[in-house]
Amino acid sequence: MSGSSYEKLVQLLRGRVEGRMTWASGLCVLVVVLFLVSWDTVVRLLLYLLASLAVLLSAACGFLSWHESVPRYRNTWICICVMLLIVGWVLWSVVPASRPQQVAGSSDVTIPEPEAPVAISSIRYWGSLHKTIADIHSFDEKLEASPPTDLEAMKENLVLTTATYNAYAGEILQLPVIDVDPAIVQFARDYVQLLRESAALSGELRDWAKEFQAMTQYAISPALALDIIGGALLGDPLGKVDELQEHGELLDKKKQDLVSRSQELKDRESALGSAELALRSELSRKYGVEFKQIRID
Break the chain into its structural domains and give their ranges.
3-93, 115-287
Distances (CA, A) of 99 to 44, 96, 171, 292: 12, 9, 42, 35
pLDDT of residue 151: 81
284 backbone dihedrals φ, ψ, rounded to 5°? -65, -40
The identity of residue 44, as a single letter, is R
pLDDT of residue 140: 92
Q: Measure the CA–CA gap between 165 and 205, rounded to whole angstroms.
A: 14
Q: Length of the chain in residues, anyone? A: 297
User: Mapping DSSP to helix (H, G, I), strand (E, B) and coil, where does residue 110 land?
Assistant: strand
The identity of residue 46, as a single letter, is L
State the DSSP string of 249-286: HHHHHHHHHHHHHHHHHHHHHHHHHHHHHHHHHHHHHH
Q: Please answer whether residues 30 and 61 qualify as being in contact, where contact means their C-beta atoms are separated by less than 8 angstroms.
A: no
The identity of residue 188, as a single letter, is A
The identity of residue 261, as a single letter, is R
> Tens place of pLDDT for every residue, the chain, 297 residues?
444 554 554 455 455 545 555 555 555 555 445 555 555 666 666 666 666 666 666 666 666 566 555 555 555 656 666 666 676 666 556 555 554 444 444 334 343 344 578 889 999 999 999 999 999 999 999 998 988 888 888 889 999 999 999 999 999 999 999 999 999 999 999 999 999 999 999 999 999 888 888 877 777 777 766 666 666 656 666 666 777 778 788 888 998 999 999 999 999 999 999 999 999 999 999 988 899 999 887
Q: Please answer whether residues 208 and 256 qualify as being in contact, where contact means their C-beta atoms are separated by less than 8 angstroms.
A: no
pLDDT of residue 155: 87
Q: Measure the CA–CA gap between 200 and 168, rounded to whole angstroms.
A: 14
State the DSSP string of 104-170: TT-SS-BPP-THHHHHHHHHHHHHHHHHHHHHHHHHHHHHHHS--SSHHHHHHHHHHHHHHHHHHHH
